[in-house]
Structure 1
Amino acid sequence: MDKVSVVNDIDELTDTFCTDCLVICELRKTRGKTGAHRFCIESCSVGEQLQFLGQELLKFCEK
């Protein structure tokens, strides 16, 4: 993977799944913004993929 393809994958994931996510909208109402963000980080499969892609981007910065 190169840097551009990783960034494109991140953009595609967030545009496809995160922009209109009904779960996040509901969690923001019940848990607040921080609680909803915590759900994305810990429990969401898309969040896990985004974390993986973020780690891939960090590999390019370390070089």
Structure 2
Amino acid sequence: MSRTNVLKEIEEILQHYCTDCFLKKHFRKMYSKTYAHQFCINQCTVGSTLKEKGKELLNTEKTGLNR
């Protein structure tokens, strides 16, 4: 998959799931921005998906450098 396609998928995921996320807003209000961010990265299923897409993006960049 190309770098552009991976970036488009990431953007679509962020817009669809993260824009008005209730949990993110709640955790920012109750705890802090840092806590909410850590929750999104480590415990949210969407965050896990984004991590995988990020790894895929890194792989596309590495293969592009080897050409």
What TM-score, normalized to structure 1? 0.93
Q: Which runs of 5+ in 1 are unaligned?
A: none
Aligned to 1:12: 12
8 Å contact kept, 2:3–2:61: no
| Cα RMSD (Å) | 0.8
Matched ranges for 1:9-48 at <5 A: 9-48=9-48
Please report how far the alpha carbon of residue 4 of structure 1 lies from its aligned counterpart in structure 2 after TM superposition.
1.3
4+ long deviations beyond 4 Å:
none
Q: Deviations over 1:2-49 (max 9, x none)?
A: 211111100000000001001100000112000000000111000000
Please report how far the alpha carbon of residue 61 of structure 1 lies from its aligned counterpart in structure 2 after TM superposition.
2.0
Percent identity between the aligned chains?
A: 40
Bigger Rg, structure 1 or 2: 2
**Paired residue total:** 63
Q: Distance in 2 between matches of 1:54 and 1:31?
A: 27
